[in-house]
């Protein structure tokens, strides 16, 4: 009887510990998504994630490529300070950015670590839903949000939470899996298109194709399936871009989007280049100083002149407040996660960016080939690939940490040898 009682008590303690772990993981995910700052980019979530390091650090080895990701992240951090010491000799320095820029990168590493650990104790949909709750709490009340609440505030958290719940519901529908996800994607895409969120409309349209694709029969050859998936994905992206451009130019997504799209195409000959002239500035700066600039470095007049020359080359007129105050006012802001990683952390940051892109592409390919991709994670993958080229690191890093953590492929457990 005593053995039975002891066993029951042990089981009870294990259940309580498991419940406490689940609650802790969920709570930290909410706080990480919230990004409530304490000091210069350091958030409550980051502090708690660092405190939980002994819990999540062992999880890194359970996923393919994640040890390399963390090594590259730490190497990039060191590179940013080396470049700072080199460039501060002939550049001004913003002391607050010496803390903020590294905090962004460290926060990314901490977020990925917590998400990897959470995948051991929580279902995927709950991880994404909790993180989405945090994103919702973090929506501000600035002028942009007041002007277009969906585009500048609520779209990302709503999409993540809705797709997480749709995935949960789809998992319980026998014979109709992914149906609710497709309906949710279509509704979210239409709403985004009608509320001047052109990029979100295109991304959701692409995710619809990727989710629907998985409903087709899988091929027998794994290698042929991977090659066919990659080639088909490129074709799909081109088709989505062309169709989306036509809808915008023809005015199907609103008069404001139509006017802006036509102006951008007339200006540079391309909807992407016209909408993201920062790419031309990034290329010009990279050709001038490929090593990067470092954390906290303020652009010099010569740096700004080089960047402006690059934008003039695509017929963009750079003598405006956006370029002079936002892009090069108190720091370099290249409106691209890849560009920001390079300019703050040098060539190591560029390598880290390439590795992140590879991790995301690997997940998407394997998930689609194996017919195991969930809509919410595929959306995270697509928006991350977009952000790596077209969105600032500071605003992208919140979703980037969740995306890398959810896209990490687990290692196969080693079975004992039968010999």
The HSE-up count of residue 97 (CA atoms within 13 Å, CB side) is 23
Total-model pTM: 0.86
Instruction: At 34, list the tokens.
Output: 């919230």
pLDDT average, residue stretch 162-183: 82
Beta bridge partners of residue 37, listed in sequence order: 43
| Better-scored residue on pLDDT, 279 or 413 | 279
Is 274's pLDDT higher than 60? no
Beta bridge partners of residue 63, listed in sequence order: 410
Residue 330 sits at φ, ψ, to 5 deg, of -110, -10
Report whether 56 contacts 113 (CB < 8 A).
Answer: yes
C-alpha closest to that of 69 among 336, 363, 332, 367: 363
Is 239's pLDDT higher than 70? no
C-alpha closest to that of 138 among 399, 404, 341, 366: 399
Beta bridge partners of residue 297, listed in sequence order: 93
What CA–CA distance (Å, rounded) separates 406 from 367? 12
What's the pLDDT band for 419 if we cut at 50, 70, 90? very low
C-alpha closest to that of 209 among 175, 186, 177: 186
- The counts of H helices and E strands in the chain are 20, 2
What's the pLDDT band for 242 if we cut at 50, 70, 90? low
pLDDT tens-place string over residues 97-145: 999 999 999 999 999 999 999 999 999 999 999 999 999 999 988 878 8
pLDDT average, residue stretch 60-88: 96
What's the pLDDT band for 414 if we cut at 50, 70, 90? very low
CA atoms 405, 410, 411, 415: torsion sign = positive
pLDDT tens-place string over residues 243-262: 555 554 445 445 554 455 55
Report whether 380 contacts 372 (CB < 8 A).
Answer: no
Instruction: Give, in order, the Cα–Cα distances in Å from 234 to each of 60, 79, 203, 365, 368.
Output: 31, 34, 14, 12, 14
What CA–CA distance (Å, rounded) separates 215 from 373? 11
pLDDT tens-place string over residues 352-373: 999 999 999 999 988 888 888 8
What CA–CA distance (Å, rounded) separates 358 from 315? 32
Q: Which of 30-34, 167-171, 318-322 is modeled with the greatest confidence?
A: 30-34
Report whether 125 contacts 406 (CB < 8 A).
Answer: no
What CA–CA distance (Å, rounded) separates 317 from 246? 25
**Number of CB atoms found within 10 A of residue 143's CB:** 8
Mean of pLDDT over the chain: 84
Residue ranges per structural domain of the chain:
65-93+156-407
C-alpha closest to that of 402 among 182, 168, 133, 143: 133
Alpha helix ranges (H) inside 172-270: 179-194, 198-213, 222-249, 255-268
- The 3-state DSSP class for residue 314 equals coil
Q: At what angle do helices 375-390 and 198-213 cross, to 10 degrees?
A: 140
C-alpha closest to that of 73 among 108, 117, 43: 108
């Amino acid at each position: 009887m005593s053995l039975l009682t002891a066993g029951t008590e042990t089981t009870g303690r294990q259940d309580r510990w498991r419940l406490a772990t689940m609650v802790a993981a969920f709570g930290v995910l909410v706080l990480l998504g919230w990004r409530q700052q304490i000091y210069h980019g350091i958030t409550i979530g980051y502090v708690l994630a660092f405190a939980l390091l002994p819990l999540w650090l062992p999880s890194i080895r359970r996923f393919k490529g994640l040890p390399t990701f963390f090594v590259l992240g730490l190497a990039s951090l060191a590179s940013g300070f080396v470049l700072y010491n080199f460039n501060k000799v002939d550049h001004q320095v913003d002391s607050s950015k010496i803390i903020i820029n590294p905090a962004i990168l460290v926060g990314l590493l901490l977020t990925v670590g917590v998400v990897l650990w959470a995948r051991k104790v929580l279902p995927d949909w709950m991880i994404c839903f909790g993180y989405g709750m945090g994103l919702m709490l973090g929506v501000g009340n600035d002028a942009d949000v007041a002007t277009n609440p969906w585009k500048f505030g609520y779209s990302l958290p709503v999409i993540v939470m809705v797709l997480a719940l749709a995935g949960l519901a789809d998992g319980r529908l026998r014979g109709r899996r992914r149906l609710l996800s497709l309906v949710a994607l279509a509704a979210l895409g239409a709403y985004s298109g009608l509320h001047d969120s052109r990029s979100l409309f295109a991304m959701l349209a692409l995710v619809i194709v990727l989710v629907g694709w998985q409903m087709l029969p899988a091929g027998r050859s794994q290698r042929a399936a991977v090659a066919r998936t990659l080639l088909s994905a490129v074709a799909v992206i081109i088709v989505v871009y062309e169709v989306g451009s036509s809808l915008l130019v023809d005015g199907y997504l609103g008069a404001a989007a139509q006017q802006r799209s036509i102006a951008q195409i007339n200006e540079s000959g391309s909807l992407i280049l016209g909408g993201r002239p920062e790419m031309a500035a990034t290329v010009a700066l990279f050709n001038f100083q490929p090593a990067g600039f470092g954390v906290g470095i303020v652009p010099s007049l010569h740096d700004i002149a080089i960047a402006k020359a690059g934008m003039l080359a695509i017929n963009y007129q750079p003598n405006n407040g956006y370029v002079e105050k936002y892009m090069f006012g108190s720091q370099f802001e290249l409106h691209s996660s890849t560009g920001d990683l390079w300019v703050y952390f040098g060539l190591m940051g560029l390598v880290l960016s390439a590795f992140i892109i590879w991790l995301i592409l690997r997940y998407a390919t394997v998930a689609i080939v194996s017919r195991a991709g969930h809509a919410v994670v595929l959306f995270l993958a697509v928006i991350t690939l977009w952000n790596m080229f077209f969105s600032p690191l500071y605003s992208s890093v919140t979703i980037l940490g969740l995306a890398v953590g959810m896209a990490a492929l687990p290692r196969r457990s080693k079975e004992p040898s039968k010999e």
